[in-house]
Structure 1
C-alpha cells in the first residue's frame, strides 16, 4: 500500500483505537508516517523500540506492598498516564518472545501488570518482514490476529510530495525523479551494508549540508546509499551547472530552454522547490509561462507537483493557456 493511502486508512483506525501493524522493508518511513499522523491530530506520540527492551521494561518491577501483603508491579514511567495519543511499538517482531508476550497483554487487554492504557491512546506496531535480513521472530498467530495488517510499499510520487514539503535538497529530488529505481535499492539477497532508502537519502541531504571535504564526498555518500548510486548521483549533480538561473526564470527574465533530459529533470525539480520556498502570484505566472515552452512531460510534471503541494492556479490566465495546450496529457 502506498504511503498516502496507508495514512488515510491508519488515521481512521487510530480514531477507533483499532490495533494496527505496519510491515515493510527497513528505511522506508514506517515510524515517520505514524509520527506525522500524531502531529496532524495534535495528540501525543510515544515510540517504544521493543527490540531493545526486557520483559520487565514493559511490565514493570515487582515490589512488596505492606498493606495488602501482596506483590505488585511498578509500571514504567514512559508509558502514557492520561490524554490522547499513539503508542508506537516499533520492531515488535524483532523483540524477544518474552517481550512479545508482555506486549501481547498490552495489545489484547490494553493493560500489563498494574498498568492500564488510557482510553484516548491507540496502539500501532511495526516491524520488518522476515526476509529482510533483520533479526526477527515469527509472530504468534494469536498476537498477529489482534492487528489489522498493512504492508507499506515505496512510492516515488509520495516520496517526492514529502520531499518538497520538508524542503529536501532539490538535487536529490531531481535525481530520484530522473532515476526512480535509486530511491530504494534494498535487496535481501545482497550482503552490502549500504543501500538507498528514503531514510538514507535524508542522510545524504545532511551530508551535502556539512562542510565535508569534496575529496571525501563519494566515499561518504557511498556509505549511505551504496557506491553505484553515489557515483550516479554525484555525476548528476554536475548537470546542475548547466541549469539556467532559476530565480531569473521565476522573475520572468530568462527564456533559455534545454532539450537534455537530465537537465530538464534537474530544472523541473529546482523550479518547484524554488517556488514553494517563495510563492507569489507573479512567480506563479512566470513559472507557468516558462512551462508553456518546455517539453510537454516536464511541463505536466511541474504543474502536478505544484498541485500536490496545494498550489491553486485555476484563477490564472496563464494556466488557462496551459490547460489548452497540455490538457490532452492529463486525460
Structure 2
C-alpha cells in the first residue's frame, strides 16, 4: 500500500477536527431563531465578527435538513436581486423578462431551503433597495420562491463592519432582529466536539386556535389603549436600521406570539422575539400587557375572597389588588367593600405586606357613613403603619444625604 502524501494526512486530520456531534441543550437565542424560522419570518442576526452567526446558520440548515444557499449581499449588484433583463425574439410583443440568478433557480427546483443573506450591513443602499422585494414578497425578477424557502440574514454593527452602512428603514422593518451573542459554556463545549442542536418547536395542534386568539387579543388590546404605538419611525438613523413598530412589524409580533404560545416557549424566548420585532420600548409594553392578560378577574376574586389565588410576583399582585379596588369604586356596595378587605388580608398573609398599603388606603376612602368598619382593618393597620414609618425614615435619610451632598459641593 503506497504511503499517504502529507496532504492526504492533513486531510485526515481536518476530517477528524470536523467530526463533531450535537446535543439537545437549552439555548434561548437558538430557540428564538428556530421559532422565527418556523413562523416563516425573515430573521436578521446582529453580532460582532467571528461570534458564530454563520456557523449557527450552517448547523441550523443541517439539523432541519434544508439545503443552505449563502449569498454575500455586499458583492452583488442590484440586478442580481431584481433580475437581469433578457431580450427575447419579440420584445415589443412579449416584453423583456427579468431573469433570476442561478442560486434562485436552484432554490425553486429544490422546493425548499434556507437562503442566507450574509454581510447585509455592508450592502450599499442600491443593493438594499433591490432586496426589499426578495425579503418581503420572495420574488427575484420573474421568479417566485416556493413556500418551503426560509430567509435568514446576518450583519455586523456598523462600527465593526467593513465599509458598513446603516440598514434602510424599509428593509430593517421587514426583519425580526436578534442580537447574537456567544455563550462561554456553549463555545467551550462546542470546541470540545459537541454543539447544541437546533430543533423546530413542537407545536400543540390542539392549542392552535387558542394561541391565535390570545395573540390577537394581546396585540389589539395594547394598540387600542396605546394608538401612538401603531407606527413610530425612530428619529435617529441607527435606530431606524433596527426593530421599530409599524403595522407590518406588529403583524409579525402577533404571529410570533401565536407560535410561541402554541409551542409553550419561555418568556425569555418571547421577549427576544417581540423586542426584535417592534423594538425595546413597545416590546416591553406588550410583554407587560401579556403578563396582565392572565390575571384573575376582580369580580371573581370579590365573589370568593377566601378561595382567591393571587400572583406570586409583587408587581402582578399589586395590579390585581388595584383592579379589585377599582372594581369596588365602580360599583360601591357594602358586601363588595368587605370582600375587598378580606382579599387585602389574604394578600398580606401570603406575600409582602407592602403591596397592600396603597390599595388599603384607597379602599378606606371609599367607605360610606353607614358602613361598619370590618375587623379585617385591624389586621392591616400594623402593616400600613409600618410601611408609612419606613417611607418617612427613607425620606429622612434622603434629606440627610442631599444635605451632605450640598455641603460637600460648597
Structure 1 or 2: more helix by fraction: 2
* Structure exhibiting the larger radius of gyration computed from Cα positions: 2
TM-score, normalization by structure 2: 0.39
TM-score, normalization by structure 1: 0.47
